[in-house]
Amino acid sequence: MRARGVVVTAIVLLLPLTGPRASVAIKPSVTRAATSDTLRQPTTLRNRSTVPHVVDVDLTAAPAQLRLRPGGPLVRVYAYNGTVPGPTLDVREGDSVVVHFHNELPEVTTVHWHGLHLPANADGSPLFPVAPGSTYVYTFRIPPGYAGTYWYHPHPDARSSYQVSMGLFGAMIVRAPDDPIAALGVPEKLLILSDNRFDANGAISFPDSESIQAEVDLENGREGNVLMVNGQVMPTISMPPGGVQRWRIVNASAARVYRLSLPGGQMIHVGSDGGLFAHGVTVPDIMIANSERVELLVRGGLTPGQRLQFQDLPYDRYMPQTRPADWDSTRALLSVVVSHAPAAQPLRIPPVLRYVPPLDTMHVAERRVIVMSQGLINGRKMDMNRVDLRGHLGTTEIWELQNVVGMDHPFHLHGFRFQVLDRDGVPEPFPSWKDLVNVPKHSSMRIVVRFDDYPGKWMYHCHILDHEDEGMMGVLELN
């Protein structure tokens, strides 16, 4: 399913493919017509610091009444700063970030900064619960080289699926001073994918704990039949003929895996969880597991008035017994409309986007096998009072992730990004920074991780939130 094109080592030219001007490389015009997108961008968390490279923000989780669907009723949700998705934390490499978090929910929560490298007490793991009515200050510094797209979400013991489904999720963007795509003036969009399920009154619905649906949700992870981008159903993005945009896509769904495609357009995969690759890869479609991120350069279409559909193609991640009847249908996510604005200039993408150093696999302190079965890791359920793995700072480890059952499990490690070495023995074509990797049914892969700093207890788990809540998680202690 990893439908990958050829690694592009030469200059990638996005369009137009006709005429002698095809080889002319000109920066796209920065004077773009006012956008007629219906897709909204989440607001950005307001930085109240005036000190350079200090970002000081307030974040509150509280119940709210929001209209989740146009024309639909106001429904009870949980929201960060009153919006679903929550506001984006938009920072730069080297920034010191201080988040004053207020829990106004009627239950315990945490804020987990998914994918970031930070002190264990700022990780928002279930070991640092924030009680209702209390405040927690998350303080961390964004290291150099971490430019990328991340997200934040609650991570309390056993309640992550519920709280995310109720509306608690938001994006983080870390920017590099020398981002080569930003330097080209390419317009950028953030697309947060989520899905949800509603009852006859329009309220967010959860199955009664005794029902068959509850068992199915536990097995598959809770999926909703309503698919949203930035909380909107089928929004539109408008682009001039031949226009190219950078899309930062976050899969904030509890369990749904998407296989994204844009028939009639063109997609170049330029980055993953931890930011840009060295080179872009042309892809016909791209899989994004829950909690994973992708960065794409997307070219919409050439003909004014043309309408393209950004879709989720079928992907079978399920056990046959609980596979949804409609698993093989294609779902529409948003429309790309080609405007009547003047055609965009061709865009020359630099041959090298970023240097991604491969981790050294010659000096490995520990080789571990992580076996994922249904709901268990290495045969056990999570126990917050137990340490499952012990490791040391300043060392490199290779973990073999084995999925021994008939459904996919997306694997995540807190605090430390890693690189995939091989999948079922097939070497990964190039190094990239990951914090989540989908391990398909009955397959195995190897990852390499370097533990430079930050001692403490770190979670690793299946990121199907219902599996995580049920204890498909372990604790790694580093010292």
DSSP code, position 20: G
Q: Kindly give the residue spans of alpha helices, DSSP state H, lying in 248-369.
A: none
With beta carbons less than 8 A apart as the criterion, state whether 3 and 285 touch.
yes
Would you mind telling me the total number of residues written for the chain in this entry?
479
Tokens, residue 292: 């994973």
222 contact choice in Cu ion, ligand C2O, none (CB below 5 to 8 Å, kind-dependent): none
CB 265 within 8 A of CB 298: yes
Give the x-and-dash track for 393-412 against Cu ion (CB under 5 A): ----------------x---
239 vs 310: CA distance, rounded Å: 13
Q: How far is the CB of 404 from Cu ion (least distance, A)?
A: 12
Establish if 423 lies at the interface with ligand C2O (CB under 6 A): no
For ligand C2O, the binding residue among 248, 256, 317, 414 (CB under 6 A) is: 414
**Which partner in ligand C2O, Cu ion, none is near 291 (CB below 5 to 8 A by kind)?**
ligand C2O
* Contact range with ligand C2O by CB under 6 A, out of 127-135, 331-339, 364-372, 456-464: 456-464
- Residue 196 CB, nearest distance to ligand C2O (Å)? 18
412 binds ligand C2O (CB under 6 A): yes
Residue 373 burial (10 A CB sphere; 0-12, 13-18, 19+): middle
Q: Which residues contact 124 (CB under 8 A, 6 or more apart)?
A: 110, 111, 112, 113, 138, 152, 154, 155
Q: Are 297 and 14 in contact (CB under 8 A)?
A: yes
**By CB under 5 A, is residue 434 in contact with Cu ion?**
no
Told to check if 256 binds ligand C2O by CB under 6 A, we report: no
Q: Please state, in angstroms and rounded to a whole number, the distance separating the CA atoms of residues 233 and 202.
A: 14
* Residue 69 burial (10 A CB sphere; 0-12, 13-18, 19+): middle
Q: Per CB under 6 A, does 462 bind ligand C2O?
A: no
Q: Which of 75, 108, 114, 273 binds ligand C2O (CB under 6 A)?
A: 114
Using the rule CB under 6 A, is 155 a contact of ligand C2O?
yes
Q: What is the smallest separation between the CB atom of 248 and ligand C2O, expressed in angstroms?
A: 17
Residues 320 and 263 sit within 8 Å (Cβ to Cβ): no
Q: Which does 293 bind (CB under 5 to 8 A by kind): ligand C2O, Cu ion, none?
A: none
- Pick the binder of ligand C2O from 141, 417, 461, 467 (CB under 6 A): 461
Closest CA to 251 of 89, 20, 464: 464
- Cα–Cα distances in Å, from 262 out to 188, 283, 310, 330? 17, 10, 5, 12
Spatial CB neighbours of 89, under 8 Å, sequence gap ≥ 6: 44, 45, 55, 57, 97, 99, 152, 170, 171, 172, 173
Residue 462 contact, options Cu ion, ligand C2O, none, Cβ 5-8 Å cut-off depending on partner type: Cu ion
**CB-based burial label for 259 (10 Å; 0-12, 13-18, 19+):** middle
Which residues, 289 to 348, sit near ligand C2O by CB under 6 A?
291
In angstroms, give the least distance from the CB of 432 to ligand C2O: 18
Choose the contact partner of 467 out of ligand C2O, Cu ion, none; CB within 5 to 8 A by kind: Cu ion
Q: Which does 459 bind (CB under 5 to 8 A by kind): Cu ion, ligand C2O, none?
A: ligand C2O
The answer to whether residue 462 forms part of the interface with Cu ion (CB under 5 A) is: yes
Q: Is 467 in the site for Cu ion (CB under 5 A)?
A: yes
Distance CA 258, CA 296 (A): 14
Which of the choices ligand C2O, Cu ion, none does residue 409 contact, using the CB cut-off of 5 to 8 A by kind?
Cu ion
Binding site for ligand C2O (CB under 6 A): 112, 114, 153, 155, 291, 412, 414, 459, 461, 463
Binding site for Cu ion (CB under 5 A): 114, 409, 414, 462, 464, 467
